[in-house]
Structure 1
Amino acid sequence: MARQQNESFDELFDVKNNFYIGNYQQCINEAQKVKLSSTEAEMNRDVFLYRAYIAQRKFRIVLDEIKDTSPSELLPLKLLAEYFAHPEHRDKILSAIDKATIEENCRSHNYMIVAATIYYHENNLESALRVLHKAENLECSALSVQIYLKMDRLDLAVKEVKTMQESDDDATLTQLALAWVNLAIGRDKYQEAYYIFQEMIDKYSSTTMLLNGKATSLILQQKYEDAEIVLQESLEKDSNNPDTLINMIVLSQHMGKPYEVANRYLTQLKDSHMEHPFVKDYLQKELEFQRLAAEYSALA
């Protein structure tokens, strides 16, 4: 019922929902054609439009179109695009966000999402949660769930999901957060997570985000052949998606495929996503292994 109400009264339901499930191009398409009844709705549309461009790594569009004189609600998105596009500016951007959060000048949930996202990518999870604290917004709650899971605080993630369910049990973000928590809980919850991802694919469309969630639940259930079919579909949609490549690396090892298969996906991942946390962590461990190997070789 809650979802039906959202669809009836939220002019931007399709725009937002496509963004939430990772269908970024459809989000952009919907944003460009939807007819809206207020300037507030138009502003919210532009927020999701530019966020979708950022998700597609089309940073130049955002940086060119959002000026310093643009509405204040859009300015955080320019900051986020600059963060990803120009790593050399990140210290300056972090200083600006630190100052804004200390002075509590980040009360709009859009700014909270941007600030928390940047802190998340900096692995400063405590600051990310501090920004999101007491935010009465489902998207802020969903991001908090992701952070709690990364911190291995499953108890807090479960608590946050329950709060989301009390607010809107049928909302896409609530269902996604529940699926993430189910994957973390394990055992019989893997199958429940699978059903959530499959239901969304059936109701809306298959995206790399939903397909990777579905594949992850299958891998955890050791249904490797089924997972491979799902990941192949994901590769057909986006052959360079980092989550799909990582899942293919894991799956190739579980299925006992030749070393070259997993290494091929790893090479592609390193070539295209050097800033991805998985790649950074892998390269760090690779350097550490080489250092230890050199030490033992010298002692031999």
Structure 2
Amino acid sequence: MSSTEQIYTEGELMTIHNDYHHNAYTKVLAHNLTQTSTSAVLSARILQLRAQIALGNQAEVLADISGEEDIPDLAAVQALALYTSDSEAQGLSLAESLAQTQSDNATVQILAATVLAAAGKIEEALALVSKHQGTLEAVALGTQLQLLVNRTDLAEREVKNAKKWAQDSLLVNIAESWVGLRVGGDRYQQAFYEFEEMPVAQSVAEMHLGRLPEAETSLRNAMEDTENEAMQSHAIANLVVVETLAGRGAQAKELLASLQTRMPGHPLLVDLEEKDALFDEFAAKYAPKVKITA
């Protein structure tokens, strides 16, 4: 292979990578893997399989990789496909097994950690993803996980360390913007610009900047994206927040009902259910012990 062809194929992989992380899943699937170098085919194929999962095509993914599960990378894809379909327990069990036996594999680190985190096993996910050896997506996932456990300081450190060797990386810039949304101040505006091609994420920055009408417009446009049902659900969840902040409680309740129908396991719904249970628990502790009658 000539140097020109090698540069082209490496560029092709980077394009697939960027399309995936901009949630442009149909673009990811449109790439022709025959134009990708042999060394990059597996990486590109995994991104396409993950795009299929994001689009809700888990059955197709499981059929595609059937018989190849002995390849750790594809076994990790299988774990994610199972967990995000109707086989959560099976997917989690496979992810836990891979975390024990294939923890040095970059794809396992990312996808198994994603499954572990989705199952609420954040510490286990962090332990796995922290084993990475300069994988940009692992940096981004590690940053996100640290933010989930309210360790903004560690998330900031992760990003700063990565910027020493990946200054212009899309994923590092996105991770830095996530941290910026937590830190606040002028970093809200920086995050807004970084999320230019990610309407749901950009709407979060808009909310922090107090621009609720603009956030609502971005989210309603995202809701019209028929390509990605998961992204539609995330748009609805954020629109619930916008409507609540705007004092439109009735509209927020309608959107919550819609979200419950579309994605019953959405993190917002799970979080609200947990908060309701905690409220009832604490309210019971302070309930009157003596009934007072007139």
Please say whether Structure 1 and Structure 2 have the same fold, judged by a TM-score greater than 0.5: yes
Question: Could you tell me how far 1:50 is from its partner in structure 2?
Answer: 0.4
Q: Give the corresponding residue for 2:251.
A: 261
Residue number among 244, 269, 279 corresponding to 2:269 in the alignment: 279
Q: Give the corresponding residue for 2:11.
A: 10
Q: Give the corresponding residue for 1:113.
A: 110
Q: Does 1:223 align with 2:214?
A: no
Q: Does 1:252 align with 2:247?
A: no
- Report if the CA contact (8 A) 1:212-1:234 is conserved: yes
Between stretches 46-55 and 271-280, larger displacement belongs to: 271-280
Q: How many residue pairs were aligned? A: 280
| Secondary structure of residue in 2 paired with 1:74 | helix
Find the aligned partners of 2:78 and 2:288 in 1 and give their Cα distance.
50
- Report if the CA contact (8 A) 2:206-2:215 is conserved: yes
Question: Could you tell me how far 1:291 is from its partner in structure 2?
Answer: 7.3
Q: Give the corresponding residue for 1:182.
A: 180
Find the aligned partners of 2:136 and 2:49 in 1 and give their Cα distance.
19
How high is the TM-score relative to the length of structure 2?
A: 0.86
- Report if the CA contact (8 A) 1:36-1:42 is conserved: no
Q: Give the corresponding residue for 1:98.
A: 96
Q: Does 1:235 align with 2:220?
A: no
- Report if the CA contact (8 A) 1:68-1:75 is conserved: no
Q: Give the corresponding residue for 1:193.
A: 191
Find the aligned partners of 1:237 and 1:278 in 2 and give their Cα distance.
20
| Secondary structure of residue in 1 paired with 2:84 | helix
CA RMSD in angstroms, aligned pairs only: 2.6
Residue number among 153, 176, 200 corresponding to 1:212 in the alignment: 200
Question: Could you tell me how far 1:37 is from its partner in structure 2?
Answer: 4.8
How high is the TM-score relative to the length of structure 1?
A: 0.84
- Report if the CA contact (8 A) 1:270-1:279 is conserved: yes
Residue by residue over 1:173-206, the C-alpha shift from the partner in whole angstroms, topping out at 9 and shown as x without a partner, is 01111111110110111111112112xx2xxxxx
Question: Could you tell me how far 1:166 is from its partner in structure 2?
Answer: 1.5
Find the aligned partners of 2:16 and 2:24 in 1 and give their Cα distance.
9
User: What percent of counterpart residues are identical?
Assistant: 25
